[in-house]
Every structure is written in C-alpha cells, then in structure tokens.
C-alpha cells in the first residue's frame, strides 16, 4: 500500500521540563502545516509500548504554549530497557505506520529512541532542566528553572537579611552545577557549591567572617544537590564558624511552572526544526541551540562528554561576593 | 524639662513577615505627619536592650512599602525573657525619652512589650505569616504566604500531572492549619491535613483510589507541619496505597517575598491606626482587622484562645476534591 | 413526570474576572457531591438563548481552579435585554428541565437572571474586578486585579525612579475608585485620583514640589478611569508644575491572570454556598462575603446603593505620601 | 604626581533597563577586587557634567543585583550633545583623576563616551531593552522585557478567550521588531507585526476567519510600535473583518521589573569583562554576548548595521499560528 502522507509520532520522556508543551505544539502545528499527520504518544515509552497513540489536530495543542509540564505526560519505562519492550514499541510504531519519531527528553530518552531506529527516522529534542546534554548550549527548561530558583532565593533572602542568618539552599543538579552557578551569580549568592569544583569549608567560613566584620550578617549559599547534602554542609558551617545556619531544599518546584520566554522560544524553534529534519529525510539527529541558533546535529553528540564547567563565570561569582 | 513633641519607638520582632515594612512606613510617616518624632529600633528587643535606636525621617522609609522582610531587622532575644533584660530595655526607652512603643510581631513579642508598659504606651501590630493571633481576622503576612504556597504548589502540580504522581507538600503552621487550609482550597488540593483535625490514612487512600478509577492519577496533599512529618505521611500513603509519592517541604521561602496587595493595605492601615492609638493616649492596645476594618482592641485579646478552626471551609475542600 | 434529581444551570456573564473558574468548579463539584446534575451554559445569556447547555462532570472542571478567565466564556447579550430574548432563555431552561440557575457576574447579569425567576430558583455570585456590588465586602476578581496593578506599578516605578519622572497610571474603575485606592495605598502612590472625591491640581503640584525640595524627583499618580483622562491629567500637571510626566493606561491586562489566593478561596466558598442555597429551596439570593464569611443575602441588595467610599483609607494614603 | 591605583568611573545612560544594577555591581565589586577605585556618576552625562561623582564601596551595591532600574539614575543630556558640555564632562573626569569610564547604555550613550576618549579609556556595556545594538546577540534588559510582555499577554489572553475577541497588543520597538517577534512566538500570538516586514491586512483577516471557521474566536496580534499604531490597526481589522477588536498599549511597564536570570547573568559577566578590558589597557571597546560568551569587541561595531531580522523565526511563527 502506498501512502503519500508521512506520519510522525511524538513523545515526552524522562523528567518533565517547562517548554515541553511549546515544543510539542510546534511539532504538531508545523507538521500539519506541511501536510504530515502527527500522533501524540502518551506517557513516554510506557505509552508507546501499550499503544497509546492519538492523532493530534491543530486545536489539540491550543493554549498549551505557556503551560508547564507536558500534556502528553511522561514516565520512566523499565520495560523499554529490555529487548522485549523495545520490540513491542517498534511493533506499535509499525502498526500505526509511523515513519518518524520525535523524542522530547534527555539523553536516556534518546538512547531508547535509537533502539527503534530500524526503518523509523529518529529526532531528539533536548528537554531537561539540568542543561546537561552535550552539543547544545541550552536544553528546554533550564532557563525557567534558573528563574524559579532566583525567585525562591529572593524570598529566602528577605528572611536571611531580616534575621541576619546564613541560608544554605539546595538546588537541582546531581552531576552538573549549571543551575547553581547561573542562579548563584544572578542572585548574588555569597557562595556557590557545585559538583565540578571541590570546595573548602574554611574558605567559606573565612568569607562569612569577612562579611561579618564589615557589618554584613546574612549570606546565601547555593548548593547543587551533587555537591553534598545541604544539611551536612549547614551543620559543618555552623560548627566551624558559629554562625546561625538554616537549610532549604527547593526540590520539585524547580521542575514546574510556565516556561520563560527563552524556553518557549527555543522550544518552538526546536519543534519546528525537528519537523524540518524529518522532511529532509535525515535521521538520528538532535536539535541543538548553538550560538543563538537552532540547528541539527548528530544524536550521538548527546552521549559524548559535557563541555568543561564554566570556570570563568564561577571565578567571577567569587570575586563579586567578596 | 518639658517636651512638647512626643517620641515613639517602633520595632519588629519574632519571625519576619511580608508587610512589616509597609506597617513601619505607615508608623513613621503618619507619626511625622502628626508632629511626632519616630525612632526605629534595630533587631527587635535585642537592639532595644543594646540601645540601637535611630530617628527616622520621611525618606528613611521610601521605597520599602512593597519590600519583603523588615529593614529594622528582627531577632529573638533570650535576654528580654529575663527581668534584667527587661530592665535594660526600659532604661533605654527612658534614656531616649520614648513615650510610646509600637511592636510589630506576634503574641510573644507583645508579651515582651507589656513588661515595658510602666510609663510607656504600648501598641501591638500583629505581624506573622501564621494568622494565629486571636482578635484579628488577619495578621500581616498571612495573605502573602498563602499566595506563595499556591504559586509553589502550581509548579509542583505541573510535575504531578505530567508524571501521574502523588505529592505531599509540607507548609508552615505548627499549631494552626490556616495556611494549609486556605492554600489547599485555593489550589484545589486533593487532601488537606491540619493539626486541628485528625485525619485517617484509609480515607485519603480511598480518595486516591477513587480518583485513579476515573483516570486521575495525580494528587496534591497539603500538610501543615504541625499535622505530622510529610516524609512519614508520604511513606505511609505509599505503603498503604501503592501509589508513587514525592515530598516537598516548602520551608523558609514562605516567609519572604513582596507583600500582596491585601497585606500591604492592612499593614499600612494598622500602622496608621497604631499612631492614632498613641495620639489618643491609649495603651496596651493591639490593632486588629475585624470585619474588613482596622480597629483597636485590648492587647490581652492576643493571648486568649484562637477562634475555632474553619470547619465549614475544610469540609467544603473535601467535597470539592471528591 | 416526576424527577428526583434536581438540575441546575450555571453561567458566567459580563466582564470576565479571575476566580470565575474557581466558583464554577465549586458549583459543579459540590452540586455533584450532593447528587445534583449541573449544566454549564456557554457564553452567558447569549448561549442560554441559543441552547448551549452541556452537562458537566467532575473531570470537566479539573485543573481550572487557578486559571484566569472563564471556561464557560462570557458575552454581553443585547437579545437578553428584550422580552423576546428573555422568553427564549426561559424556554431553554424549561426544555432542559433546569430547576435553578447560578449566575456568576455583576449586577447587570443578576437583573437578567431575575427575568427568569418564574419557576426557576435564581442565585447570583458577584464576580467582577470592580468590587462595586453592594452587599458584599468583596467581589470575585477584585483582589487579583489590585495585585496586578501593584505589580505593574512596581515595574513603572523602576523607570520613574531611574529617570526622575512623574508617571500617571490609569487603572480600571468608571464609577468606583476601589482599585485605585487599594492599589495606591499598597504601592505607596504619591497621589490617588478617584471618581468619588474631587481633586485639586494645585494640591498635587504642591506635593510634587515638596517632594522635589527634599530631593525626591519621581512620583506615581494612580488615576481611576472615572476620575478623568490620564492624558489630560498628565498634561495639566506638566503645564502647571513643569515636571516631566509620562502616561500609562493599564487597560485590559487588569482583568486577566490567575486568581489570587483570596479570590480563589472566596470564589470556592461562594460556589459552595450557591449550591447550599439551591438545596435549601431559597431563591433570588446572592452569595456575599461579609465580615470574612460567605453568606446568603437577598439579590435585591445588589441593586442598592454602594457603601460610602473608604474616606479614612484615602486620607491615610494622603498622610503617608506627604 | 604618580598614582598607583587606577580610578574608574561608571554611569548609566539612556533608557533604563533591568539588569543595569547587576552590571553596575559587577563593575564596582570586580574593580575593588582588583584594587581599583570606582566612582559612580549619577544621572548619566548630566551628572557627569555637574560633577556628581561618588566613590563606591563594596556595600554600596549590596542587594541591588535583582533590582530593576538603575540606582545611579539615568537621564538624557542635551548639554552632552554640545562641544561645551563634552568639555565640561572631560574636565570633571580629569578633576576626579578618572582613568577609565564605563558606560552602561545604548549606542547613543556610547557616542557620547567617545567624545571623552582623550586620555580616558572607554568601555561600553550594551544596556537597552530593545536588543538593537549590532555586535552583541543580547543587550541587557531584553530578556526581561520579553518575559514582561508574555506575562501581560497571558493576562490579556484570558479575557480574549473568555470574550472571544481579537486583541491588538502594542509592544516596544520603534525600529526593531525583536521584542514583538520573541514575545509573539513565546506566547503563541496569532499574528506578529514588525517594522522590518510589511504586512497585509487581508492576510491577517484571512487568518482570523480561518480560525473562526474551526471554532476559534479569539486572537492576539502583537504589534511593534514601529509597525504602526495599534489603534489604527485595530480599527482597520475591525472594519475589514467585522471582528470585535480591543487595544492594549503595554507602554512603560516593559522597561521595569527585576531582571530575569539571563539578564542578571550577562549583566554580571559584562560588568566583569569591562573591568578586565580596563585592566588590560584597552579602550573604545564594548562588551558583547556572542555565542553564549561575553567578549570584548570594538565599540565602533555598535554603530554599524543591525544583523538581518530573524526571518526564519518569523516564518515559523506564522506556520505555528495557522
């Protein structure tokens, strides 16, 4: 049977990130604009394996561009880790005559997609708040998460200043200190602790004391979760310096919220680029934000090494918080 | 020596609350408007005991009306709990020829003030995010805190919906479930757990299951810190229902932020009323928000019993989340 | 034919207001909780006349509690002003066997409802950002609108301060200065012009000059649209005082946005109360927020006189901006 | 007389932009970190001509990193356009023994600085919400302004949807449609009108009608102020299509507000880079954000031609709003 109209599937996978809906909307709308039929797959690979595919209309993505989370829902799929699960997923794609699959998620989600690359075009869109995918300057959701953190730290600083206390604020980032670094410099944190750079308790205490001597009795210390437990760091600082410390773990609220302008724009541009990649018959590609432009790069780049941590910005943060 | 111009002192004490600066500004500006001299006392009773009083000008409170925290700073003072501390505080007031003291804080702060009532007029302004002071419908900071909570829960709900998870969100309120109740009903929480009303795990699990059966797989459970540990509640729910639960402790960010419109308005009105009370030579009074008006009531009311928990609203919340 | 289950209709009418969706959700959910069948009517009376009624399920109002606008849509209906239109509306209600109608809107919308009171129970829920309905301390949407205004004015103040300019900001309120008054006092506006109180250009200029003399070169003047054109006021101030003035008309953005905590809470409570009113077989009632409680009052009260303008708060605003 | 310690002056000039304070803080703190003495100049060139220079300490820039506007204030200086004014400005710099001047502002402000380049090192930091300075991918303030616009449009959309109306929203940008383009794509505007690309009323009406036919009765049309008067565009659309249109001019609120994370980060990085440029004895340089890095480029680039309008993104916006 010959089909003229190409069918593409799209799913969101892994942790949700603000802007995923804007990317989805762009895939659906631009796909339909070019005459494709677009199928939304619910709950990531879990939904794909169980055949949860629905054709999406222009109206199905109305009013979602600035909504947080993902209307397709997302899940982590243990079954997709197994050859049997991958086989089932592939069968579903064939059964629905899907020619191309767009995966919005992180590198783990891209690996899952590549097991389906037999006869199916694969395009990844990097969506994760951690900004830890090589090859792209930004991942969808990162800018929003940093803005969420500085908003929360702003509130905490009111109390820190009023009570003259040291606050240790733990932010997301198990292996990557990008959220801590950007948020820390944006909100003028007194210290920033990241997994990439060892830190010295004595130095931090020294800085607290220097501030105290010139009459400044409050401090904000931003800690990536990968740099150590905020509770232990707070206790250690207290026992070494005598300063009153308080702890806040920002937790899940960093994942949510309406996307920032930047996230919504790059999400839309990446969704549009993904459709272009499909139409030009490429596969195993990832959309990437490089030098302020959205481009297409090989998907393999996502599995490579992260670019070095921005040491220059980190050093600047230290100089500005003397 | 005769003095024509009355001198008033003002301090903020206890936990900081959004709107304290708006109240301070009103005390200073309205005081000066009526020809009084106003002295700001730093760091609550701690600063009073140590003589940290500064005369405040019109300009000293410019641009603070919408700023969180308190520019006077606040502290908890152990020394003020002792007769010696109280004596020192009184001496400072006499030394600076202060005729009246305005205390912005909670009931503990008011008790401190009453030890100074010998010859000094005392006026309390209820400022605490907990809304747990009898005699006033609202305390300064409460409305902002509830708005902060619903904003945070909105972000968490994005992830809850996308991942189909149950989130347990712990909010402030050791003895008083008001923040949990108002925030819970405002954001449509599936369950609200407060210290005032015993809860039944089986009922909550039942509701989770009912939701699941009609296709709803995410839930937000708001817990006052006084109702139990969010971690333990989350574990218990998981072990009884099998649902995936996640925990977020909102913590200190609930205290900060710019005041909401309502908090800024009642803070200004209370600050103005405090000056009127002083000018009418009353003492041991508290400003209170009663039936949408700011009035003067006896300070003792603040030490009385809290009005009964709003059971009607609580029941409504349960009916709306069936 | 006897029917055991009561059917209620619900519509939103007039200008949209944040919190209308929260009220709608409460009507639907509490109605269903008590065994009623609830019909949503689209586009106000326009939709009613044209038979746009749909039964609403629990899920139909999921995730709307904090969404601005109204999912039922709203419209102004010229046809409903005519006896023919009213007759058609009544026929639709009878055709769908609706026993009671809940109208979320302003006093004009309530008048429309009362033409349908023949055999149909009528309950009004006051929803309008203007807070201009007698009998209730607050209307749904007002608190959000005031918060929106102070947020916008906060941004404008940054520029006013940086450029040392006088800004005239026009806010909503044709006959009622409540938004201007509350927002003005909350954000520390230098002058507040409302329809209820005549103002004197010379006094405003005097205040600008006094500020200038003590080194303060920026001012925010909040003007209700009913107090005069911001453009003309700005020109007049400029020509009389020589100060550089700029104008901003906030316009429609004051109607939208997610409801504040207070609006969401009173909306939910009013929606719940409306269902109770219906179940207790009352009619021609309005839900009202009186002394911090939601109660039932006669609908006629809404057509009475507005309570006097809060002159005390207005005078305080002037004293605080000396 | 020999001096070992270099003195630098810093001023903000032209329209204020969110992030200017973060840039100022970085100049002051990094300057002091490297042993320089930093002088803040009030009110741009106006203050320079009149000798309003003050030495800045570490503490003088505390707590300003996330504050909108500029604490140095800004002004447009007619006197600086004249040789006499420039001479006076130069004399002030010599009198205060300033070796280098950092100007935070737009290209007009940079031109002013270059008249002072005799013996004074000049460094420009691009700060303007319009993002219309060649050589840098971003100017300080642009990202915040776009976020402010999408926040406002989000509120307007609530009303547009509820009332099924077409809103024409005018945003800043006299010669440059960047704010309209980015905000329009981020918030899913139905049409985007910019000065760079001629538009066709019939096409816009056609799109309105297509939407109407598939049941969508609300639209947001974003218009750069340089693309035409929103009022005239609204009238024209109404008269050609018959659709109900409403107008909102966002106006000055687009300039203010706390800087976004991105603006605060690039502002800090640019402030730091400016000090590095001075220390490396370069002059007539501008800091620029190029390919996600802050670098130094010749100041002349700022007077060159703007890069071409992002037509690709504009076309994508049209495809996504079919």
Domain ranges of chain D: 7-141+259-303, 143-256
Indicate the SS3 state at residue C199. coil
- In this complex, the residue of D20, D75, D158 whose CB is nearest that of residue C256 is D158
- Say whether pLDDT at B130 is over 90: yes
Alpha helices (H) along C164-260:
178-186, 201-213, 230-241
From the list A152, A157, A231, the residue with the least C-alpha distance to A190 is: A157
C3 pLDDT band (50/70/90 cuts)? low
Distance CA C153, CA B304 (A): 40
Across the interface, whether the CB atoms of C256 and D69 are under 8 A apart is answered no
| Token pair belonging to C180 | 């201007």
Give the gap in angstroms from C-alpha A317 to the nearest C-alpha of chain B.
23
- Say whether pLDDT at C4 is over 70: no
Across the interface, whether the CB atoms of C147 and B261 are under 8 A apart is answered yes
- CA angle at D105 for the pair D103 and D111, rounded to the nearest 5°: 70
From the list C74, C93, C80, C91, the residue with the least C-alpha distance to C17 is: C74
Task: For chain B, give percent helix, strand, coil, nearest 5.
Answer: 45, 20, 35
Show residues of chain D in contact with A262, CB under 8 Å: 143, 146, 262
Per-residue HEC secondary structure of C237-305 comes to: HHHHHCCCEEEEECHHHHHCCCCCHHHHHHHHHHHHHHHHHHHCCCCCEEEEEECCEEEEEEHHHHHCC
DSSP C101-159: EEEEE-HHHHHHHHTT-SSSEEEEEEB-TT---TT-S--BTHHHHHHHHHHHHHHHHHH
pLDDT: which is higher, C38 or D242:
C38
Out of A125-139, B40-54, C2-16, C106-120, least confident range: C2-16
Share of chain B above pLDDT 90, in %: 93
From the list B233, B209, B230, the residue with the least C-alpha distance to B219 is: B209
Distance CA B230, CA B170 (A): 6
B3 pLDDT band (50/70/90 cuts)? low
Place of tokens 């799209």: A10
Contact by Cβ (8 Å): A53, A40 = yes
- CA angle at C247 for the pair D19 and C142, rounded to the nearest 5°: 85
For B281, other C-beta atoms within 10 Å of its C-beta total 10
Distance CA A170, CA A186 (A): 16
Residue range D37-80, pLDDT digits in tens: 999 999 999 999 999 999 999 999 999 999 999 999 999 899 99
**CATH of A143-255 given 3.40.30.10, 3.90.380.10, 3.40.50.460, 1.10.760.10:** 3.40.50.460
Show residues of chain D in contact with A185, CB under 8 Å: 264-265, 268-269
A4 pLDDT band (50/70/90 cuts)? low
| Token pair belonging to A17 | 């990130």
Question: Average per-residue pLDDT in chain B?
Answer: 95
Cβ-Cβ contacts under 8 Å for C288 (sequence gap 6 or more) = C126, C135, C136, C137, C294, C295, C296, C297, C301
- In this complex, the residue of B43, B156, B256 whose CB is nearest that of residue A159 is B256
Q: How far is CA A205 from CA A166, A225, D322, in A?
A: 11, 20, 58
Across the interface, whether the CB atoms of B59 and C215 are under 8 A apart is answered yes
Give the mean pLDDT of C125-132: 96
Domains D7-141+259-303 and D143-256 share a fold: yes
Give the mean pLDDT of A155-170: 95
pLDDT of amino acid C53: 98
pLDDT: which is higher, B296 or C243:
B296
Distance CA A152, CA D151 (A): 18
A157 labelled ligand-binding: yes
Place of tokens 């800043």: D172
**Helix D230-241 vs helix D201-213: crossing angle, to nearest 10:** 60
Contact by Cβ (8 Å): B272, C320 = yes
Per-residue HEC secondary structure of C42-99 comes to: CCHHHHHHCCCEEECCHHHHCCCCCCCCCCCCCCCCCHHHCHHHHHHHHHHHHHCCCC
**Chains interfacing with D (3 or more CB pairs < 8 Å):** A, C
Distance CA B143, CA C261 (A): 7
Largest CA distance in chain D: 81
Residue range A40-79, pLDDT digits in tens: 999 999 999 999 999 999 999 999 999 999 999 999 899 9
Across the interface, whether the CB atoms of D253 and C152 are under 8 A apart is answered yes
Contact by Cβ (8 Å): A233, A221 = yes
Which residues in D156-174 are b (16+ Cβ under 10 Å) and which e?
bbbbbbbbbbbbbbbbbbe
**Helix C142-163 vs helix C178-186: crossing angle, to nearest 10:** 50
pLDDT of amino acid B4: 64
pLDDT of amino acid D59: 93
Show residues of chain A in contact with D183, CB under 8 Å: 261
Show residues of chain B in contact with A73, CB under 8 Å: 161-164
- Say whether pLDDT at C206 is over 60: yes
Helix (H) or strand (E) holding D235: helix D230-241
| Token pair belonging to D6 | 């270099």
**Main-chain phi, psi angles of B233, to 5 degrees:** -65, -40
Q: Which of C16, C99, C130, C132 is catalytic?
A: C130
Across the interface, whether the CB atoms of C154 and B258 are under 8 A apart is answered yes
Across the interface, whether the CB atoms of B66 and C216 are under 8 A apart is answered no
Indicate the SS3 state at residue C38. strand
| Sheet of B293-298, strands arranged across | B53-55, B37-41, B7-12, B100-105, B121-126, B285-290, B293-298
Question: Average per-residue pLDDT in chain A?
Answer: 95
Show residues of chain B in contact with A159, CB under 8 Å: 15-16, 69, 252, 255-256
Tell me, what's the ipTM?
0.96
B214 labelled ligand-binding: yes
Under DSSP, the state recorded for A277 is H
B210 labelled ligand-binding: no
Across the interface, whether the CB atoms of C253 and D248 are under 8 A apart is answered yes
Question: Chain B: residue nearest A259 by CA?
Answer: B155
Question: Chain D: residue nearest A294 by CA?
Answer: D313
Helix (H) or strand (E) holding D83: helix D83-95
Cα B57 to chain centroid distance, Å, stands at 27
Interface mutation vs chain C, best among B27, B145, B158, B185, most C CBs within 10 Å: B185
A128 labelled ligand-binding: yes
pLDDT of amino acid C217: 85
**Helix A261-279 vs helix D142-163: crossing angle, to nearest 10:** 80
- Say whether pLDDT at B134 is over 50: yes
Show residues of chain A in contact with B47, CB under 8 Å: none
Across the interface, whether the CB atoms of C316 and B30 are under 8 A apart is answered yes
Show residues of chain B in contact with C30, CB under 8 Å: 316, 319-320
- Say whether pLDDT at C2 is over 50: no
Number of H helices, E strands in chain A: 10, 11
pLDDT of amino acid B112: 95
- How far the first Cα of chain B sits from its last, in Å, is 71
pLDDT of amino acid C322: 81
CATH superfamily, region B142-255: Phosphofructokinase domain (3.40.50.460)
Across the interface, whether the CB atoms of B158 and A43 are under 8 A apart is answered no
> Catalytic residue positions of B?
130
> Catalytic residue positions of D?
130
Distance CA C117, CA B241 (A): 48
Give the mean pLDDT of A128-135: 96
Distance CA D147, CA D143 (A): 6
Give the mean pLDDT of A156-183: 96
Residue range B9-50, pLDDT digits in tens: 999 999 999 999 999 999 999 999 999 999 999 999 999 999
- CA angle at B63 for the pair B57 and B67, rounded to the nearest 5°: 120
Residue range C263-275, pLDDT digits in tens: 999 999 999 999 9
For D18, other C-beta atoms within 10 Å of its C-beta total 34
C34 pLDDT band (50/70/90 cuts)? very high
Give the gap in angstroms from C-alpha D78 to the nearest C-alpha of chain A.
34
Cα A18 to chain centroid distance, Å, stands at 8
- In this complex, the residue of A43, A155, A248 whose CB is nearest that of residue B257 is A155
Indicate the SS3 state at residue D277. helix
- Say whether pLDDT at C1 is over 80: no
Q: Which fold has domain D143-256?
A: Rossmann fold (3.40.50)
Annotated binding site of D for ATP: 15, 76-77, 106-109
A78 exposure class (CB count in 10 Å sphere: 0-12, 13-18, 19+)? exposed
- Say whether pLDDT at D217 is over 90: no
Q: Which fold has domain C7-141+259-303?
A: Rossmann fold (3.40.50)
Q: Name beta bridge partners: A288.
A: A295
Question: Average per-residue pLDDT in chain D?
Answer: 95
- Say whether pLDDT at D96 is over 80: yes
Helix (H) or strand (E) holding B11: strand B7-12
Distance CA A192, CA A221 (A): 6
Contact by Cβ (8 Å): A221, A199 = no
- Say whether pLDDT at D285 is over 50: yes
Out of B306-315, C73-82, C211-220, least confident range: C211-220
pLDDT of amino acid D2: 44
């Amino acid at each position: 049977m010959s089909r003229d109209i190409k069918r593409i599937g799209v799913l969101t996978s892994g942790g949700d990130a603000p802007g995923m809906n804007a990317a989805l909307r762009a895939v659906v709308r631009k796909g339909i604009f070019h005459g494709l039929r677009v199928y939304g797959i619910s709950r990531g690979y879990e939904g794909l394996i169980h055949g949860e595919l629905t054709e999406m209309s222009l109206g199905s993505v109305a009013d979602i561009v600035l909504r947080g989370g993902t209307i397709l829902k997302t899940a982590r799929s243990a079954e997709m880790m197994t050859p049997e699960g991958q086989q089932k997923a592939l069968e579903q794609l064939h059964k629905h005559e899907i020619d191309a699959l767009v995966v919005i998620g992180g590198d783990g989600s891209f690996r899952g997609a590549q097991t389906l690359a037999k006869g199916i075009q694969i395009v990844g869109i990097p969506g994760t708040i951690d900004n830890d995918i090589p090859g792209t300057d930004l991942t969808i959701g990162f800018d929003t998460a940093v803005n969420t953190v500085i908003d929360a730290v702003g509130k905490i600083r009111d109390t820190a200043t009023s009570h003259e206390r040291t606050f240790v604020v733990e932010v997301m980032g198990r292996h990557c200190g990008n959220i801590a670094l950007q948020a820390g410099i944006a909100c003028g944190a007194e210290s920033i602790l990241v997994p990439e750079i060892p830190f010295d308790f004595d130095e931090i205490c020294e800085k607290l004391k220097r501030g105290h001597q010139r009459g400044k009795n409050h401090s904000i210390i931003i800690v990536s979760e990968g740099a150590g437990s905020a509770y232990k760091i707070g206790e250690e600082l207290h026992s070494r310096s005598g300063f009153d410390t308080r702890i806040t773990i920002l937790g899940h609220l960093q994942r949510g919220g309406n996307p920032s302008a930047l996230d919504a724009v790059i999400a839309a541009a990446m969704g549009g680029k993904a459709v272009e990649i499909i139409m030009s018959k490429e596969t195993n590609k990832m959309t990437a934000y490089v030098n302020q432009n959205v481009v297409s790069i090989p998907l393999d780049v996502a599995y490579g090494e992260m670019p070095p941590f921005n040491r220059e910005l980190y050093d600047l943060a230290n100089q500005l918080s003397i």
